[in-house]
Every structure is written in C-alpha cells, then in structure tokens.
Amino acid sequence: MANTADTVSIKLIADRLYRNPVMKEVTYEFIIDNALEVMRIIDAPALYGNKREKIKVVNYRASKPANMMRVESIARTDRGAIETMTSTDFVSQDFLESGDYNVLRSSMTYSLNSKYINTNFEGGEIEVIYKYIMTDEECYPLIIDNPILLRCIESYVKWKWFDILNDMDIVSGQKLNKAEQDYMFNVGQAHADMIMPSIDEMESLTNMITQMIPSRTEFQKRFEFLGEQEYLRIQ
C-alpha cells in the first residue's frame, strides 16, 4: 500500500491528460470534480489524511468541519477527562434545543446532519477526529503518489469527458466504450491496492485476532491499545 506521506498535486493528472489532443479543452474544475468523485467511489482509508479539531458546542450542536469526509471519533473534553461519545439514531437528537425533554443522559451521544454535529448536552467542547482530503497551498487536492491510483483517476476523467464528446458526436461510441472499459479495469486494481494492508497493519490485525482476552472497552479507550500484543505471565 502506498505511503500516505508521498503525495502529488492533482495538477499532475491534468498534465498527463493534456498530452492527449482530445483532452486539451478539459478544465481544471472538471478534472478536480471527477477526481474527487472517483476517490469517493474507491473510498479507501489510505486516500485520506487524519485531522483532530476541537469545536465548541452551543445550544446542543457544533458546526461540522468543512473538509470532513468521515468521522473517526468524537469525544467531550471540557469536563477534565476525555468522554468518548457514541453515534445515535435517537429521532429527537436533532431537536433537543427546541423542546422540553426529560431524557436520561447516562452517556454522551451525537448525531450528524449536513451541517451540524448534534449532541445530547447543551454546551461544552468536543474533540473530533476525522478523515479529510489533503490539499496543497493552492487548495488543489493532493493524491497518493501511487501509479495504479493515478492511472485510475486519469482513466475516469477521460471516460467522463469522452461521454460528453460522444453526446456531441465528436467521439465515437466505440472509443467511449474503450474508455469505460479502461476505467472499470483500473478502478478494480486501484481499490484492491488501496485496501491492501501494509506489513505493520497486518501485524496489528494479527494481534487483534489472536487476543487471549478480548477487550470490550476499546471504544471507550478510543482504540488506543487495540493492536498491541498480549503477553502471558507465567511467574
């Protein structure tokens, strides 16, 4: 699996695409939009960076980070300790600030909507750990420097552009089908490569699977010790 520290700008994809005379009119906006789309289709954890951010809770809700792709962990941090929060489907969670609810709140919970993180406490501070798409100084997305992934993104953008040109009778249906076949082959390779664990990750998986005493409190500990090896004391 590619090292997430080795990244390239999406401009590299554009430079490769512009070598094809048929792709000369493709805009950066079109390339970026479709590159992000295919990255979401692959949806491999290695595509994203990890970020930690503290957010104020006011009136039972906090604003979601603008670049958040997926929540990894949320915890309340304003009461002298880290209190891990759990996701809930409680139907009234989104409307706690608008009614008089007598709800037993023995644990910290949250729910998400398009704009806010809703909590079951009125005010405080939460720490959110989440996945996000890395960007360069010009806010262009950064992509893992993996030749299989780069080829996948390039073929996806080409296929989407050829689809437009085919509607305009500029590119034949045969060429469009060839572009689609290239993308389907490349996306399968990229997905398999992105989810393949590294040697370190495989060691951690082995430690989790072979635990002598399975832990039932890893979530409360925010999975800090999940991959650590256990030892049996014989004296």
According to the model, what pLDDT value does residue 90 have? Answer: 63
DSSP characters for 97-159?
GGS------SS-EEEE-SSEEEESSSEEEEEEEEEE--B-TTSPBEEE--HHHHHHHHHHHHH
Instruction: Give the model's pLDDT for residue 223.
Output: 65
Domain locations in the chain as residue ranges: 7-47+137-195, 49-132
Helix (H) or strand (E) holding 11: helix 11-17
- Which pair of tokens denotes residue 63? 């604003």
pLDDT at residue 235, as a whole number: 60
pLDDT digits (tens, 9 = 90+) for 34-70: 998 998 888 777 778 889 999 999 988 899 998 888 8
Phi, psi of 165 (to 5 degrees): -65, -30
Check if the beta carbon of residue 60 is closer than 8 Å to that of residue 122: yes
pLDDT of amino acid 22 = 92
The alpha carbons of the chain give a radius of gyration, in whole angstroms, of 23
Structure tokens at 216: 């039932």
Mean pLDDT by 10-residue block, N- to C-terminus, for the chain (235 residues)?
62 90 92 90 80 92 88 89 81 57 64 87 91 84 88 95 95 95 92 74 70 65 65 63
182 DSSP assignment: H
pLDDT per position as a tens digit, 119-128? 888 899 999 9
